[in-house]
């Protein structure tokens, strides 16, 4: 039997056929269209699923379940999606609509949650008893997996790691609160901190690389300059690592998972980031002499969305 994973993104929708072990067998995809109504969007996804099954040489009879990971709030119990801003969905009956086209078990989950599930099936946290996945991208997302199953909380609104508050009366967040983790641990935060410092330190390598245009600052530029020993970039890097270390330590102190996985674009900084975060986390972990969570980098990359969505039905 195979599983189908749908990774619903703001610009593209990727579909993949996935085996029991989390290996992708065949892929397809369509462009995300926000100019058509919800029922048409779902029909386009279902058509893409059928095309991909066909392309892979399988039939619907080979499919055990279909899963979709969406950048929004989902209710796995009803199959409804409460919010998905990128696609303009508010409280839509996703599973019910999808089943009009394909009569198979269909599951929905948040995109960060399914990426965490993917890592726990076929990635760096494979075979672990429990893991917390933290995606460090434009925002910060979270995926909690216990015994191979995602944990979204009793009401389905949990694992929003990016909106735990890290700084009282801190930076305003898109969610309406102030001082959220996302404002300090995302790529967006690195860019903000770098721009603030570069405005008064034009001698920084960051400014040179961006040819004076601070709109061109991104996380990679900042971390590359930090690796080269640029003083301003290192200031940003150390501040970022301090925030991230405190977040990771709080996850250790609160949840004590077997593994904490760092994913998303920022995690591409590799061991430079990982070594620093591991050291910083140790400073804030409560029981320093006792064993605690391994901290690792995600290894599946962009395919995690497809794999994790597919594994929702396993
Ligand atoms: Zn927030």
Q: What is the CATH number of the domain that holds 112?
A: 3.30.420.40
Burial class (CB in 10 A: 0-12, 13-18, 19+), 38: middle
**Distance from Cα 172 to the centre of ligand 1, integer Å:** 8
Asked if 116 and 139 sit in the same domain, the reply is: no
| Alpha carbon of 244 to ligand 1 centroid (Å) | 16
Same domain, 156 and 193: yes
Whether 134 contacts 304, CB under 8 Å:
no
Are both 157 and 254 inside the same structural domain? yes
- Say yes or no: 307 and 291 in one domain: no
Distances (CA, A) of 88 to 71, 83, 224, 238: 11, 8, 36, 38
* Pairwise CA distance, residues 71 & 141, whole Å: 10
Tens-digit pLDDT profile for residues 90-145: 999 999 999 999 999 999 999 999 999 999 999 999 999 999 999 999 999 999 99
Residues 177 and 88 in one domain: no
Q: Are residues 268 and 152 in the same domain?
A: yes
pLDDT of residue 45: 98
What pLDDT, on the 0 to 100 scale, is given for residue 10?
85
Gap from CA of 165 to ligand 1 centroid (Å): 8
Residues 134, 196, single domain; the answer is: yes
Q: How far is the CA of 139 from the centre of ligand 1 (A)?
A: 9
| Domain tally, the chain | 2
The domain of 139 spans 125-298
Indicate whether 215 and 180 sit together in one domain.
yes
130 in the same domain as 220:
yes
3-state helix, strand, coil in the chain (%, to 5): 45, 25, 35
- Distance, CA 168 to ligand 1 centroid (Å)? 12
CA of 218 to the centre of ligand 1 (A): 21
Residue 265 has pLDDT above 90, yes or no: yes
Do 116 and 223 have their domain in common?
Answer: no
**Mean pLDDT, range 49-70, rounded to an integer:** 98
Distance 291 CA to ligand 1 centre (A): 31
Write the pLDDT tens digit of every residue in 167-176.
999 999 988 9
Q: How far is the CA of 175 from the centre of ligand 1 (A)?
A: 4
99 plus 174 within the same structural domain: no
């Amino acid at each position: 039997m195979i599983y189908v994973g749908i990774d619903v993104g703001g610009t593209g929708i990727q579909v993949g056929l996935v085996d029991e072990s989390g290996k992708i067998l065949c892929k397809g995809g369509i462009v995300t269209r926000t100019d058509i109504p919800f029922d048409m969007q779902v029909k386009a996804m279902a058509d893409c699923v059928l095309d991909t099954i066909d392309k892979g040489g399988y039939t619907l009879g080979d499919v055990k379940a279909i899963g979709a990971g969406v950048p929004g709030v989902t209710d796995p119990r009803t199959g409804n999606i409460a919010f998905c801003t990128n696609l303009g969905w508010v409280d839509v009956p996703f599973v019910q609509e999808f089943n009009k086209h394909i009569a198979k078990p269909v599951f929905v989950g948040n995109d960060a949650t399914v990426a965490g599930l993917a890592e726990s099936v076929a990635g760096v946290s494979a075979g672990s008893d429990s893991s917390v996945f933290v995606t460090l991208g434009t925002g910060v997302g979270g995926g909690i997996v216990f015994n191979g199953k995602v944990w979204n909380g009793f009401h389905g609104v949990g694992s929003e790691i990016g909106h735990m508050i890290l700084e009282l009366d801190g930076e305003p967040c898109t969610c309406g609160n102030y001082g959220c983790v996302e404002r300090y641990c995302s790529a967006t935060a690195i860019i903000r901190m770098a721009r603030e410092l570069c405005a008064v330190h034009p001698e920084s390598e960051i400014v040179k690389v961006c040819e004076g245009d601070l709109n061109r600052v991104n996380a990679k530029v900042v971390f590359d300059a930090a690796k080269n020993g640029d003083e301003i970039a290192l200031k940003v890097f150390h501040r970022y690592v301090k925030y991230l270390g405190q977040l990771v330590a709080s996850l250790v102190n609160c949840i004590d998972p077997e593994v904490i996985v760092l994913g998303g674009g920022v995690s591409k900084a590799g061991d430079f980031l990982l070594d620093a975060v591991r050291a910083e986390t140790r400073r804030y972990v409560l029981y320093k002499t006792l064993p605690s969570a391994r901290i690792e980098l995600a290894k599946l990359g962009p395919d995690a969305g497809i794999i994790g969505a597919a594994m929702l039905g396993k």
